[in-house]
Amino acid sequence: GAGVSQTPSNKVTEKGKYVELRCDPISGHTALYWYRQSLGQGPEFLIYFQGTGAADDSGLPNDRFFAVRPEGSVSTLKIQRTERGDSAVYLCASSQGQGGRNEQFFGPGTRLTVL
Amino acid sequence: AQSVTQLGSHVSVSEGALVLLRCNYSSSVPPYLFWYVQYPNQGLQLLLKYTTGATLVKGINGFEAEFKKSETSFHLTKPSAHMSDAAEYFCAVSKEYGNKLVFGAGTILRVKS
């Protein structure tokens, strides 16, 4: 079956611009996660959705970052007024349910470059 | 707060040699522990996980890891390295009632012929 997909695979933008990154989770997965992976580091948690609601957004670095999942499936990560420090690979993952033991399946990521 | 430390950002082994990638964690509650592998230009793939029960966990591609509570460790091993094992490996921890994974910084494994 289809895995987690993310679009675009690469995004180059200029400082100050607005970007949207899309994640299509595995069908039927109720939980969706966003992580950010900077060069040479492990992924860092940003936000977690259970269904349509954000259950934990403690990892969002500031109010320029926002994510939605209006119908409980596809999610969009939105970044306003991008800065060069936002350059990273943004990873999306989904799992069947909540709880730390559920395996998270990762997408290939979106590489964001802010010039 | 939970954290993960992976000792050695780069590990180099000869083909056929033992692979040992080290992971230590800190957690205020019994943890769930994971190893993920990332091949170049690909997404993270789960190798194995420890949730409860047997402390020696076997995963895909011949890898295994042992949860040692007294040492707060979850080291990844493979008896005989293969060239196809060359990749970056991440150890991660999660709580039962929380869902986010906390990752280590990763270890790049190089396999020499």
Residue range B31-57, pLDDT digits in tens: 899 999 999 878 899 999 998 888 899
CA proximity to A61, closest of A76, A42, A77:
A77
- First-last CA distance in chain B: 41
| pLDDT, average across residues A75-97 | 96
Which residues are within 8 A (CB) of A14 and not within 5 positions of it... i.e. 6 or more apart? A82, A114, A115
Q: How confident is the model at residue A81 (pLDDT cuts 50, 70, 90)?
A: very high
CA dist., res. A36 & res. A73, Å (int) = 20
Mean pLDDT of A18-38: 96
For residue A100, give the nearest of B32, B45, B106 by CB distance: B32
Enumerate the residues of chain B whose CB falls inside 8 A of the CB of residue A44.
103
Cα within 13 Å of Cα(B27), Cβ side? 24
Give pLDDT tens digits for B56-77: 999 999 999 999 999 999 999 9
Which has the higher per-residue pLDDT, A97 or B51? B51
A1 has pLDDT over 60:
no
Nearest to A110 by CA among A15, A40, A43, A26: A43
Residues from chain A that touch B43, judged by Cβ atoms under 8 A, are: 3-4, 91, 106-109
H or E segment and range at residue A45: strand A44-50
Average of per-residue pLDDT across A80-109: 90
Q: What is the pLDDT of residue B71?
A: 93
Q: What is the pLDDT of residue B43?
A: 86
- Closest B-chain CA to A102: B99
pLDDT at B29: 75
Three-state SS letters, B35-101:
EEEECCCCCEEEEEEECCCCCEEECHHHCEEEEEHHHCEEEEEECCCCHHHCEEEEEEEECCCCCCC
Query: What's the confidence (pLDDT) of residue A6?
Result: 97
